[in-house]
Amino acid sequence: MFPLPGKSKIEFGPVAANDDRNIDITHLRRESRQGLWSEGLRLVRDIFLIVVVFILFGVFFVQPVVVEGSSMVPELHDGERLLVNKLVYYKIQSISWGHIERGDIVVFWFPNDPDKSYVKRVIGLPGEMVELRNGKVIVNGQELDETYLDKEHNQSLPSMPPVRVLEHHYFVMGDNRDNSSDSRYWGLVPEKYIYGKAFFRYWKPSSIGFLEHGTYDHTVPPPPPANENDFRAGDDR
């Protein structure tokens, strides 16, 4: 009989990392600790960047404010929260958000006490003549069609002689003309005191949305040439 060929046996020696450069030896506990640490650092970095962006955004672009009082009823009510666009401070004329226009609701430091902030609507622009006739606002001889007013809050119908708005100043009024401390009583607002234009209400939930910008049916004509008597009533009071 012929002996059956036996199965060849292959002997394996010990395995070492040097046998193959592509073999990595991993210590799971050490790798997990390093992974958690690196992920934690990334999280802290991301949170820091988000905070920095929000701070820069608040300093240069948008600021929240709280309405106090009823001088802007019916558009604004006491306790509402607004977002104020601060781009107007940089006077960017190419976009409406970058400069002040008639009908804008602006927030400013009260000229007679800069520790206080007021919110009012812009009525008269620099160089214009503003007058009140039985509660009607006349700018450069043209009556403003103020659709944002509520008759319930405008029954006193006061009159005021023409006032020339100084350069770099604005004539402002509250929408609640019967209960508003504004340019009719204490004078004009210097441009440098205006720090933002209110554009969005984010509280209360029932009234969230963009604010109504004043629109007017008729174009206001250019102001008449200035004379010395125009500024007598227009000086800051």
Three-point CA angle 236, 141, 143, nearest 5°: 95
138 forms beta bridges with 131, 143
Per DSSP, 203 falls in state E
Evaluate whether 215 touches 102 at the Cβ level (below 8 Å).
Answer: no
Catalytic, 116? Answer no
Nearest by Cα to 95 from 105, 85, 81, 84: 85
Evaluate whether 214 touches 148 at the Cβ level (below 8 Å).
Answer: yes
Catalytic, 117? Answer no
The catalytically annotated residue of 8, 9, 96, 120 is 120
**What distance lies between CA 83 and its chain's CA centroid?**
4
The catalytically annotated residue of 7, 8, 32, 71 is 71
What amino acid positions are annotated as catalytic residues?
Answer: 71, 120
